[in-house]
Amino acid sequence: MSLEQLRGKLVYQGLLLGGVALLTSAALAFASRATEADIKAAEAADLKQSLTQVLPGEYENDLLKDAVTLAGKNGDVLVYRGRSQGKVEAVVYRMIGHGYAGALVCVMGVSREGKILGVRVIKHAETPGLGDKIDPAKSEWIHSFEGKWLGEPVAEKWAVKKDGGEFDQFAGATITPRGVVKAVKEGLEFFEQNRAALLDEAGGNS
């Protein structure tokens, strides 16, 4: 039987579809295994880089190894701590905000006094050219959080200007900065609620 005739047979078509599915899944499984370690390593390097961006200054320990998990408002929060002379000087953790196109994964560094050392959005899918001005490579906006804390500006001013707050929005994109501001504010509230545990001090109010 020629290939021409064979191609018309239902059995051949079924086998062909099955075979293609099998081959492509095998290719994907292989690619997933081959790239898994490299992707993890690249993401860890990214994380470390973003941690050092939001935590300026030197700490004596390896941030990635001094981690603690605490319960936050929206699930567990993984906190990395930077120490100097054994004392926790700064903490860094992730907060998830909601942007125009899904989650905004923010990393924020907070000093032991509760002041923001830096904020970065490490993962987002905002509109290129509009919402992606949260990226420090494209705009200075994200630096406007530095040095802020829950008392400065006061609670009701923790919003974008359109909502009566202090932070700029972008032309054409209000939802993205609004999401970031909300996530950062929640991050600071999380810090206040868990101050003792975050700073690794049993006594609490220091």
Partner 1 sequence: MSYGRITRDGLWDNNIVFAQILGMCPTMAVTSSATNGLGMGLATTAVLLASNAIISAVRDLISPDVRIPVYIVLIATLVTLVDVSLNAWAHDLYKVLGLYIALIVANCAVLGRAEAFAAKASVGEAAMDGLMMGLGFTLALTTIGGIREVLGAGTLFANAHLLLGPAFAFLETTVIPEYKGYLLMILPPGGFMVLGFLLAGRRVIEGRRAARAAAAAVPEAAAS
By the criterion CB under 8 A, which residues form the site for partner 1?
3, 7-8, 12-13, 16-17, 20-21, 24, 27-28, 31-32, 34-35, 38-39, 42, 45-46, 125, 127-130, 137-138, 171-172
Give the nearest distance from C-beta 56 to partner 1 in angstroms. Answer: 22
Based on CB atoms, which residue is closest to partner 1, 10 or 154? 10
**Region for residue 81 given its phi and psi (left: phi exceeds 0; alpha: psi -120 to 50; beta: otherwise):** beta
Distance in Å from the first CA to the final CA of the chain: 86
Query: Side chain identity at 162, as an amino acid letter?
Result: K
Give the nearest distance from C-beta 36 to partner 1 in angstroms. Answer: 8
Give the nearest distance from C-beta 133 to partner 1 in angstroms. Answer: 11
**Region for residue 56 given its phi and psi (left: phi exceeds 0; alpha: psi -120 to 50; beta: otherwise):** beta
Based on CB atoms, which residue is closest to partner 1, 64 or 71? 64
Based on CB atoms, which residue is closest to partner 1, 124 or 185? 124
Give the nearest distance from C-beta 144 to partner 1 in angstroms. Answer: 19
Based on CB atoms, which residue is closest to partner 1, 7 or 73? 7
Give the nearest distance from C-beta 78 to partner 1 in angstroms. Answer: 21
Q: Which residues lie below 8 Å from residue 16, measured CB to CB, with a gap of 6+?
A: none
Q: Classify each residue of 54-75 as buried b or exposed e, where b means 16 or more C-beta atoms within 10 Å of its C-beta.
A: bbeeebeeebeebebeeebeee
Q: Classify each residue of 155-174 as buried b or exposed e, where b means 16 or more C-beta atoms within 10 Å of its C-beta.
A: eeebbbeeeebbbebbeebb
Based on CB atoms, which residue is closest to partner 1, 76 or 140? 140
